[in-house]
Amino acid sequence: MKLNKLTLAFLSVLSFSGATYADVTINGFGNVVGGITSSDDQVLGFNDTIDFSNDSLFALQVSSDISDKLSATAQIISRGEDDFDASFEWAYITYNVSPSVTFNAGRFRLPLFAYSSSLDVGYTYHWITAPSVVYDVPFNNLDGVKLGKTGYVSGWDYALDVAFGTFKGETLGADNNGDNTVLVSGQISNESLTLRAVYGRTTTTIDLTQSRDEVGLTLGLGFDSIEAAGFAELADSLRIEEDAGEFVGVSVMYDNYDFFIGGEYTEVSVDNNFSNDDEAFYITAGARFGKWTPSLTYENFESSGDVKYLDDINQLTGSGLPAETVAALSSVAIGSQVAQQSDYDIITAALRYDLDGGMALKFDVQRLSDNVDDTRDGTLARMAVNFVF
């Protein structure tokens, strides 16, 4: 979020509340992560030169009570992958309708995953970073409103959230705009078991002709070439333009404080375009021995689907266009779909050591095995210092 009128207005609210109500809380957290691969292969953004920026970040969170029912929260994050340029991650107000009902408005984290609210706070979980196959999605924050309800029934705590708004992310180097986004999530938990489910829908548009990525731009211009050749219907079918997208997720975690085991499963799909349906899951387990927490995690990601619009693609052959033109346009229509297919696994062995004063030291080794293209196989070793204050 840039320093636009909304942000400036929000900062004014914080300043006013600090001067009048005088109840301002400032917290911070950070992740210093270094990683290197075992060869010159790139694995999860790292290569054979040690890098301390890819997964590192620093953040401040400011919250202020405006009244006994109204509060404001802002979070500023500086990420290494963005050259540590600071930006507003969250900026929202919270109104306590009742002790068990809250209303949020502004920019806030979408409750997509089990660790959504603390995704950037590495200190809160046993990994160095949350499993990428599930958590690496092009959208995490929502500009909109959210209604939350919490309670306790028959030995179970529960939390229900309904959110509505818009999001803006990035896919293939182009802006991924999600309009009319609706997300519903529910969670129940007792002393050791937590169960969670989420469902969301949105209307997605991605203009690849404006992509900052070579592959994305090539696809966008390729779809335009198909339209210019007289096949507008095929081009429209391939483009992601006001298409319906869905997100489904479930998770379970058992944690008795001595050991834990759990997992998460998600599906992401966008109808009527060149993209495939994505399925991802992880299973993780570990144990606590004093300040030490060893763990093992298995992840899988699969993006698959049959080649669509074959009847329209076959019409290119009988169109009377030059053979080389037909071949080029067909390769765009088919290749854009085949290139999205993916199937790979990641196994992570991790170790956490809790230092004093809200700080944890972590080590992990990750092995990526690509079931489609084994040239992407590789091993990554990382270390991290996570802290909160």
- Which domains are seen in the chain, by residue range? 31-56+110-388 (2.40.160)
Instruction: Give the residue-averaged pLDDT of 109-129.
Output: 96
Cβ proximity of 314 and 294 under 8 Å: no
* 130 or 42, greater pLDDT: 130
For 42-65, how does the pLDDT look when each residue is reduced to its tens digit (9 = 90+)? Answer: 899 999 999 999 999 999 999 999
The predicted structure's pLDDT at residue 139: 84
| 13, 62 contact by CB (below 8 A) | no
Q: Are 332 and 309 in contact (CB under 8 A)?
A: no
157-166 tens-digit pLDDT:
999 999 999 9
Which pLDDT belongs to residue 1?
47
- The arithmetic mean of pLDDT across residues 193-212, rounded, is 97
- CA–CA separation, 264 and 248 (whole Å): 11
Helix, strand, coil abundance in the chain, percent, nearest 5: 20, 55, 25
Stretch 32-42: mean pLDDT: 91
Give the bridge partners for 367, in sequence order. Answer: 347, 379
Say whether pLDDT at 191 is over 60.
yes
Alpha helices (runs of H) in the chain, residue ranges in sequence order: 5-20, 132-135, 214-228, 232-238, 310-314, 323-338
Q: Which residues contact 300 (CB under 8 A, 6 or more apart)?
A: 133, 280, 281, 282, 343, 344, 345, 346
| pTM of the full structure | 0.90
Tokens of 65: 């009570």
